[in-house]
Amino acid sequence: MTGSTRVDGVGAPEGLRPMLPGLLSLAAASCLAVTTEVLPVGLLTAIGDSFGVGASLTGLLVTLYAVMVAALAVPLTVLTTRFRRKPLLLLTLAGYAVSNAMVAAA
């Protein structure tokens, strides 16, 4: 037995190393996107207080946003299948970053 633990046919493909920065960027973007989507749940009372409304109304608005995201996910996926993935993903992430910056500045 040699010192190698690699089994023929099993392991990372040869082209994985050049894709690693893009994969890590995608993972970080996904983490940030999910964080900004679920963050308002922990801040319901603070958000409600800043707008002068109760936590129940604030929770309802956050719930409506979540329902819209869930309802539009599949139709938007179907509508965007004709576009190339990389430019579409970059455009979507750029739009997401701009919208988050606008919300932060408000």
Express each pLDDT in 23-64 by its tens digit.
888 898 888 888 888 888 888 889 899 989 998 899 998 899
**Amino acid identity of 3?**
G
pLDDT digits (tens, 9 = 90+) for 63-98: 998 899 899 999 999 999 999 988 998 898 899 889
The answer to whether position 12 is within a domain reads no
Range of the domain at 58: 41-105
The answer to whether position 61 is within a domain reads yes
The answer to whether position 81 is within a domain reads yes
Count Cβ neighbours within 10 Å for each residue of 71-98 and write b for 16 or more, e otherwise: eeeeeeeeeeeeeeeeeeeeeebeeeee
For residues 47 and 58, is the Cβ–Cβ distance under 8 A? yes
pLDDT at residue number 55: 86
The answer to whether position 95 is within a domain reads yes
Q: How many domains does the chain have?
A: 1
